Amino acid sequence: MFQRILVANRGEIALRILRACREMGIETVAVFSEADRGAAYLELADETYCIGPPKPADSYLRIDRIISAAEIGNVQAIHPGYGFLAENAHFADVCRSCNIEFIGPTTESMQLLGDKNSARQIAKQVGVPVVPGSEGLVRNEAEAVRIAHQIGFPVLIKAAAGGGGRGMRLALNDLSLKSAFQQAQAEAEAAFGSGELYIEKYIEHPRHVEVQILGDNYGNVVHLWERDCTIQRRHQKLIEESPSPVLRPEVRQAICQAAVRLAKAAGYTNAGTVEFLVDKDQNFYFIEVNARIQVEHPVTEMVTGIDLIKAQIRIAAGEPLPFRQEDIPHRGVAIECRINAEDPKRNFRPSPGKIEQLIVPGGFGVRFDSHAHAGYTVPPHYDSMIGKLIVHQPTRQEAIACMRRALQELRIQGVTTTVPLYQEILAHPAFVSGQVDTTFVERTWPSE
Ligand code: MV4
């Protein structure tokens, strides 16, 4: 096992990783930007190094500075968390060439799955359903028109190098397809340095269901069931839950097994998430793989009892998975609300600043993962998530009641938060009955 790990991230996920390391008897090195200097969670690390100015491009994205801290701190491994360098295959490569284990998948499977078009091809090869669309990349407008006529409008043009909704364009007819194709190409070229595009049929009113997987270095892959992340706004997830409130048992089995087949085919190791769209008839379609730990991982931890951060570290250290698929339970219902310092009444504008008061909820089945505290100043340079409130209860009805109670107890003063919006969502009949799609929040609480 590793003796010392560097945490290449900040905020709640840095704290989450520091906590796991402490419990495992692993020493830690934390890095911080000038905006995070003095943050309380950094005191939980054995050593800390400043890696530069507040802007991510000058600090948390600086491979050279992070590797320098790792060398000086004499660590054997780096945990990247999520965001920043977590899915950067070049960073994983540099770590390993410096003889530092990158706690995540191999460079090869990151590259294979990071390209959405090649991920789609692998899925097809192993019988994982994909959205009807182009065989491979689409070179020009004429080809795009031909494919759109085959599969039928509306279609979505997606960037092979994109993901998470970036670089997508909807086309309703020939005319809009031509301009959408050019816009998507220019945008993808500018954003990702690659203008490669593919086309999919547009699935209307889908749910977003994702499957957590773990793979070890010996070819074993298991799934840890699904999370339903349908409650989101502009590609930002707001509420996640497990199990999905709607999937029929046979669909649930099929989607989880499909995720495992895909991971095995890609030689996937460590923790990852396979994302699917689910249509109104519960047909499911693979869309992309997230090759990292995710914000919403606690939902899966609560229902399975498996600590995903510890699992990541053990896998990276070369340990085989300690459980078989049939030993992975799913107990009860877990729900997570992302608490953001944003103003839902002002188009979710970030609300950074000093938290004057913070009262954290507790009690049976309540978990609050956060680096925030009274007196903490939320810096304006990073995403505005200040914590995650997670509940675990025997039934969904009880989980919703528990979350509403916990949100009432949660008191945050000094910054505006998304808490009042969550109270409205949790009280909404459509959410309570599970009858929602990915447009629910934007339709029900429209803002500019
Ligand atoms: C789609 C889609 C409909 N049809 N693909 C958005 C994020 C990225 N992972 C893929 N996304 C979508 N792909 C087809 N063929 C609708 C979305 C989508 C979406 C997906 C999941 C959760 C929220 C979403 C919000 C808008 C669009």
Q: How far from chain centre, in Å, is Cα 215?
A: 17
d(CA 304, CA 329): 5
Ligand 1 neighbour 155 (Cβ under 6 A): no
Q: For residue 5, what are the β-bridge partners?
A: 28, 77
Catalytic, 411? Answer no
Length reported for the chain: 448
d(CA 64, CA 47): 18
Q: How far apart are CA 200 and CA 132, in angstroms?
A: 6
Give the DSSP H or E segment for 13: helix 11-24
- Ligand 1: centre distance to CA 165 (Å): 6
Tokens 């194709």 belong to which residue? Answer: 181
CA distance 47 to 5: 10
User: CB–CB of 152/216 below 8 Å?
Assistant: no
Give the residues across from 79 on adjacent strands: 7
Going residue by residue through the chain, which has 448 residues, state the pLDDT in tens, using 9 for 90 and above.
Answer: 999 999 999 999 999 999 999 999 999 999 999 999 999 999 999 999 999 999 999 999 999 999 999 999 999 999 999 999 999 999 999 999 999 999 999 999 999 999 999 999 999 999 999 999 999 999 999 999 999 999 999 999 999 998 877 779 999 999 999 999 999 999 999 999 999 999 999 999 999 999 999 999 999 999 999 999 999 999 999 999 999 999 999 999 999 999 999 999 999 999 999 999 999 999 999 999 999 999 999 999 999 999 999 999 999 999 999 999 999 999 999 999 999 999 999 999 999 999 999 999 999 999 999 999 999 999 999 999 999 999 999 999 999 999 999 999 999 999 999 999 999 999 999 999 999 999 999 999 998 7
CA 123 → CA 111, 206, 260, distances in Å? 15, 19, 11
Asked whether the beta carbons of 421 and 447 are under 8 A apart, the reply is: no
Answer yes or no: is the C-beta of 206 below 6 A from any ligand 1 atom.
yes
Going from the C-alpha of 181 to that of each of 34, 114, 155, 176, 435, the distances in angstroms are 41, 21, 11, 8, 33
Q: Looking at the DSSP assignment, which residues form a beta bridge with residue 377?
A: 354
What span, in angstroms and rounded, lies between the C-alpha atoms of 391 and 380? 28
Mutation pick for ligand 1 pocket among 230, 287, 289, 437 (CB with most ligand atoms within 8 Å): 287
**309 Cβ below 6 A of ligand 1:** no
Backbone φ and ψ of 35, nearest 5° = -70, -25
What does the DSSP assignment read for 71-122? HHHT-SEEE--SSTTTT-HHHHHHHHHTT-EESSS-HHHHHHHHSHHHHHHH
Q: Is the CB–ligand 1 distance for residue 203 below 6 Å?
A: yes
Cβ of 208 closer than 6 Å to ligand 1, yes or no, is: yes
Which DSSP helix (H) or strand (E) runs through 237?
strand 236-242
Q: Which residue has the tokens 């490569």?
A: 93
- Determine the distance separating the centroid of ligand 1 and the alpha carbon of 63, expressed in angstroms: 31
End-to-end CA distance of the chain: give it in Å, rounded.
51
Q: Which amino acid is at 3?
A: Q
3-state per-residue secondary structure call for 186-201: HHHHHHHCCCCEEEEE
- Specify the residue for token string 């099929």: 254
The protein residue whose alpha carbon is closest to atom 19 in ligand 1 is 438
Q: Which two tokens stand for residue 265?
A: 């085919």
Q: Pick from 199, 227, 277, 295 the residue to mutate for probing ligand 1's pocket: most ligand atoms within 8 Å of its CB.
A: 277
Which of the residues 227, 252, 292, 314 is marked catalytic?
292
- Residue 194, CA distances (Å) to 158, 181, 448 in order: 12, 14, 31
HSE of 281, CA atoms in CB hemisphere, 13 A: 3
- Of all protein residues, whose CA lies closest to atom 21 belonging to ligand 1? 208
| H or E segment and range at residue 229 | strand 221-233
Q: Would you state the structure tokens that stand for residue 270, as one six-digit string?
A: 């460590």
Element (H, E) at 441: helix 440-444
- In this prediction, residue 166 carries a pLDDT of 79
Inter-axis angle of helices 107-114 and 89-97, nearest 10 = 170
Locus of tokens 């994982």: 128
Between CA 77 and CA 17 the distance in angstroms is: 12
Task: Give me 331's structure tokens.
Answer: 């107990």
- Alpha-carbon distances of 250 from 17, 255, 441, rounded to whole Å: 35, 9, 28
Report which ligand 1 atom has the smallest distance to the Cα of 131.
Answer: 15
